[in-house]
Structure 1
Amino acid sequence: MRRFTEKRLLVATHNKGKLAEMRALLAPYGVEVVGAGEMNLPEPPETETTFVGNARIKAHAAAKATGLPALSDDSGIEVDALGGAPGVYTADWAETPNGRDFVMAMERTWAECEKLNAPLPRTARFRSTLVLAWPDGHDEVFEGSAEGQLVWPMRGVQGHGYDPMFQPEGYAITFAEMDPAKKNEISHRADAFRKFVKVMEAE
Structure 2
Amino acid sequence: MREIIIATKNQGKVKEFESLLKPMGFRVQSLLDYPLSIDVEETGTTFEENAILKAEAIAKAYNRVTIADDSGLMIDHLGGKPGIYSARYAGLDKNDEANMEKVLEELAAVEALEDRSARFACALAYSRPGQMTKTVVGTCEGFIAHEPIGENGFGYDPIFIVRDLHKTMAQLSKEEKNKISHRANALKKLIDVITES
Does residue 172 in structure 1 map to residue 166 in structure 2?
A: yes
Does residue 20 in structure 1 map to residue 27 in structure 2?
A: no
What is the aligned residue count? 194
Equivalent residue runs for 1:20-169 within 5 Å: 20-40=15-35, 41-93=37-89, 95-96=91-92, 99-114=93-108, 117-121=109-113, 122-169=116-163
SS of match in other structure, 2:167: coil
Match of 2:6 in 1: 11
TM-score, normalising length: structure 1: 0.89
Aligned-residue offset at 1:136? 1.3
Match of 1:3 in 2: none
- CA distance in structure 2 between the partners assigned to 1:172 and 1:67 by the alignment: 44
- CA distance in structure 1 between the partners assigned to 2:87 and 2:38 by the alignment: 17
- CA distance in structure 2 between the partners assigned to 1:66 and 1:49 by the alignment: 26
Tell me if structure 2 keeps the 8 A contact 1:145–1:191: yes
Tell me if structure 2 keeps the 8 A contact 1:25–1:184: no
Tell me if structure 2 keeps the 8 A contact 1:148–1:167: yes
Aligned-residue offset at 1:69? 0.6
Aligned-residue offset at 1:188? 0.7
Percent identity for Structure 1 against Structure 2:
35
Partner letter of residue 38 of structure 2?
A: P
Query: Which ranges in structure 1 are unaligned for 5 or more consecutive residues?
Result: 1-5
Aligned-residue offset at 1:137? 4.5
50-59 vs 20-29, greater mean Cα deviation: 20-29
Structure 1 vs Structure 2 CA RMSD:
1.7
Greater RCO, 1 or 2 (C-alpha within 8 Å, sep 6+) = 1
Deviations 1:108-156 (A, max 9, x none): 0110111xx2242111000010000112152111111100011132122
Query: Which ranges in structure 2 are unaligned for 5 or more consecutive residues?
Result: none
Spell out structure 1 runs of 4+ moving beyond 3 A: 200-203
Aligned-residue offset at 1:59? 0.2
SS of match in other structure, 2:15: helix
Structure 1 residues 199, 127: closer, same or farther in 2, change over 3 A? same
